[in-house]
Amino acid sequence: MSTLLQVPLPTEEKTYIDKVVAERLGRPGALLGILEAAQERNRHKYLPLEMLRYIAIKTETPLSRIYSVATFYSLFNLQAQGENTICICRGTACHTRGSRNLLQGARLDLGLGLEDGEADGNEADKLLLTTPDQKFTVRTVACFGQCAMAPVVEVNHRICGHATERTVQREIATIRAGE
């Protein structure tokens, strides 16, 4: 029990995770469900390291395994996210159908510039940029598994297939208009 006290996590977060673990542990996909619930509860929609540590202790799972799961699945975030997320697929099908231009257009439309993450010209690696006002996060994933609809963009967990630069501009404008 003394190890649990050493994890710097607010008591209400620990209580919530305790409840989720009790409900899901031992069921198929329990770890995924626990991580998803913990991330969804987080104000910035991510899994801070102290939360991963606490989940590891409560589930009696090595932290390395928890981290491995959290980094394998693109739906999990280890960095704070903006209020709105624009996720652009950089898989082969999407890349060949212009997803690089979609990514560059989104970055420019949001004032994120093109200098970060392009040192080697390879934007297929994970990229995560958040606007200074925390309103938008632009990130990339290796593949959504929606190759027939390439290029694919996900805006606030909604898939947009056969996306164009205009599609992304319209999505950003719609979000801004609703604020």
CATH number, position 101: 3.40.30.10
Q: What are the backbone dihedrals phi and psi of residue 12, each rounded to the nearest 5 degrees, phi first?
A: -65, -30
Last residue of a domain, one of 21, 47, 72: 72
Per the structure, the count of domains in the chain is 2
Q: Pull the structure tokens for residue 82.
A: 């903006």
Domain membership flag for residue 79: no
What is the DSSP track for 68-94? Answer: HHHHHSTT--SS---SEEEEEE-SHHH
Is the CB of residue 172 less than 8 Å from the CB of residue 86?
Answer: yes
Note the pLDDT of residue 7.
72
Domain membership flag for residue 128: yes
Can you give the residue range of the structural domain that contains 7?
2-72
Asked whether residue 89 falls in the same domain as residue 147, the answer is: yes
Q: Give dist(CA 14, CA 93) in Å, integer.
A: 42
Q: Under DSSP, is residue 34 helix (H, G, I), strand (E, B) or coil?
A: helix
Is the CB of residue 51 less than 8 Å from the CB of residue 9?
Answer: yes
Note the pLDDT of residue 120.
41
Pairing state of beta strands 158-160 and 153-155? Answer: antiparallel
Asked whether residue 66 falls in the same domain as residue 131, the answer is: no
Domain membership flag for residue 78: no
Which pTM value belongs to this model?
0.74
Asked whether residue 94 falls in the same domain as residue 172, the answer is: yes
Q: Give dist(CA 146, CA 92) in Å, integer.
A: 11
Asked whether residue 15 falls in the same domain as residue 52, the answer is: yes
Rg of the chain (C-alpha set): 18
pLDDT tens-place values along the chain, 179 residues long: 445 556 788 999 999 999 999 999 999 999 999 999 999 999 899 999 999 999 999 999 999 999 999 988 878 999 999 999 999 999 999 999 999 999 999 999 999 988 755 444 444 467 889 999 999 999 998 888 899 999 999 999 899 999 999 999 999 999 999 87
Note the pLDDT of residue 2.
46
Of 18, 64, 56, which is closest to residue 37 (Cα–Cα)? Answer: 18
